[in-house]
């Protein structure tokens, strides 16, 4: 293809068009810059100089001067909420909702943010109303999950159950805590004076049904099955059905041996009342031989000492600690020895030992190990929780003490 000289005329034309476009962009940028209030630039300057509080004050002034800056309002509201300044966050989001010209999408956004403010501030009634107002919005699922958290914190289990059922009608996702909602109802019914055994039975049947639903396509929840078994045992005990009580408790030893420490005390009491303490002690010792745990160790040692005296108890302890060395186990052993002298009047099996001094030295190092811990947030507690008090997550506690997990 031949080169035509007249093509050269396009070079200056293209150059001129590029120059004009650049001039237009610069003028537009300068025009937009002149529109921005001085507070905006002061805020940026404070941010660059690492003065966040003064920067926030400057941006608040911008938001007041220019009500059209909705994105800045949302950013400020979220920032105030993260900083714990709930009154300011609520005021920012309420000012947005009060605008009559706010588009629907941004109005829903503001409603959701305001409800989150109320929730964090502990104003649960207003948070609940705010989330309910989002039922037909694009925030419906998140609002429903927040409502479930509110009902949990209020221990309003019937409404929590209804909300979970609504959630499962919208999305196909497992909600394992549904089992525990029914268990909480059963526990409340059993705690009444007198106990409402009929209501407890209905709640436990519902818990069994929920456990079956949550297990579809997923591994069955060990914690929920153990809790149901423990509550059914408690119900059987109230009804005077000792055989059924033991069956439920012993099913935990067989099916979920990691949780044996949670049911061993109740099992021991059931056999003790029937005058069969030796039988249950033998059962627990066999369980410990297969699945050792610190909680079982403590119960067996204490019961051995009460039934057979110090010698057999210490013999068991020495053998157990030799196979499974544990400072916490030794600490509990010394605690039992010091607090409950044997009925047989035997002296300490460690002649000349200052057990008080020994225990005080060991106890210092074991206090932090004698706890259960949440796998989700790390919250530690001396007792076992089905729901973590720290992060409110369900089934995040291991049934074993910290020393056993290290």
Length of the chain: 406
State residue 321's pLDDT score.
83
Residue ranges of the chain whose pLDDT lies below 50: 1, 3, 19-20, 22-36, 40-41, 46-48, 63, 65, 342-345, 347, 351-352
User: Is position 388 annotated in a ligand binding site?
Assistant: yes
Q: Is 67-166 in CATH node 3.40.50.2300?
A: no
Residue 183 counted as an annotated binding residue: no
What is the model's pLDDT at position 404?
Answer: 77
**pLDDT of the residue at 134:** 93
- What's the chain's Rg over C-alpha atoms? 33
CA separation, residue 268 to residues 150, 190, 276 (Å):
38, 21, 9
pLDDT of residue 339: 60
Angstrom distance (rounded) from CA 213 to CA 216: 6
391 is annotated as contributing to ligand binding: yes
Please provide the average confidence, as pLDDT, over all residues in the chain: 79
Supply the pTM of this predicted model. Answer: 0.77
Cβ atoms of 335 and 351 within 8 Å: the answer is no
Q: Looking at residue 27, what is its pLDDT?
A: 47
Residue 397 sits at φ, ψ, to 5 deg, of -95, 130
Alpha-carbon distance values, 267 to 80, 187, 401 (Å): 53, 18, 20
Q: Among candidates 99, 100, 52, 98, which has minimal Cα distance to 76? A: 52
All structural domains of the chain with their residue ranges: 5-33, 67-166, 174-286, 292-370, 371-406
Per-residue pLDDT tens over the stretch 12-55: 555 555 544 544 444 444 344 444 455 544 555 544 455 556 55
Closest CA to 113 of 89, 137, 133, 135: 89
Max distance between CA atoms of the chain, in angstroms, equals 121
According to the model, what pLDDT value does residue 82 have? 84
Q: How many CB atoms lie within 10 A of CB 298?
A: 20
Alpha carbon 182 to its chain's center: 18
DSSP letter, residue 360: H
- 375-394: pLDDT as tens digits: 999 899 989 999 998 888 89
Report pLDDT for 15. Answer: 56
166's tokens: 């609504």
């Amino acid at each position: 293809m031949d080169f035509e000289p007249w093509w050269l005329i396009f070079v200056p034309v293209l150059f001129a068009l590029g120059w004009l476009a650049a001039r237009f962009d610069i003028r537009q940028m300068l025009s937009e810059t002149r529109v921005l209030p001085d507070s905006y630039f002061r805020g940026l300057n404070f941010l660059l100089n690492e003065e966040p509080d003064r920067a926030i004050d400057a941006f608040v002034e911008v938001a007041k001067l220019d009500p059209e800056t909705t994105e800045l309002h949302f950013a400020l509201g979220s920032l105030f909420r993260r900083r714990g300044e709930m009154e300011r966050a609520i005021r920012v989001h309420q000012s947005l909702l009060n605008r009559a010209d706010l588009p629907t999408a941004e109005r829903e956004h503001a409603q959701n943010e305001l409800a989150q403010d109320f929730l964090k501030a502990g104003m649960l009634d207003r948070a609940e109303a705010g989330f309910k107002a989002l039922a037909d919005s694009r925030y419906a699922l998140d609002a429903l999950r927040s409502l479930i958290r509110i009902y949990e914190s209020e221990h309003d289990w019937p409404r929590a159950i209804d909300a979970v059922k609504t959630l499962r009608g919208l999305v196909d996702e497992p909600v394992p805590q549904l089992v525990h909602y029914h268990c909480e109802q059963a526990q409340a019914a059993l705690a009444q004076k007198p106990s409402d055994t009929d209501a407890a039975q209905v709640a436990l049947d519902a818990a069994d049904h929920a456990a079956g639903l949550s297990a579809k396509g997923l591994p069955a929840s060990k914690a929920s099955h153990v809790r149901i078994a423990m509550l059914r045992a408690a119900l059987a005990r109230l009804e005077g059905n000792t055989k059924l009580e033991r069956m439920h408790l012993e099913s935990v030893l067989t099916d979920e041996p990691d949780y044996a420490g949670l049911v061993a005390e109740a099992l021991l009491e059931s056999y003790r009342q029937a005058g069969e303490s030796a039988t249950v002690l033998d059962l627990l010792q066999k369980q410990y031989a297969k699945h050792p745990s610190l909680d079982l160790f403590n119960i067996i040692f204490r019961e051995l000492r009460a039934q057979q005296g110090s010698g057999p108890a210490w013999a068991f302890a020495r053998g157990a600690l030799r196979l499974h060395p544990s400072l916490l186990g030794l600490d509990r052993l010394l605690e039992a020895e010091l607090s409950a002298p044997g009925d047989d009047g035997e002296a300490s099996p460690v002649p000349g030992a200052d057990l008080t001094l020994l225990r005080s030295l060991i106890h210092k190092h074991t206090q932090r190990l004698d706890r259960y811990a949440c796998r989700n947030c790390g919250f530690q507690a001396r007792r076992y929780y089905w729901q973590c008090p720290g992060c409110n997550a369900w089934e995040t506690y291991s049934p074993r003490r910290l020393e056993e997990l290290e």
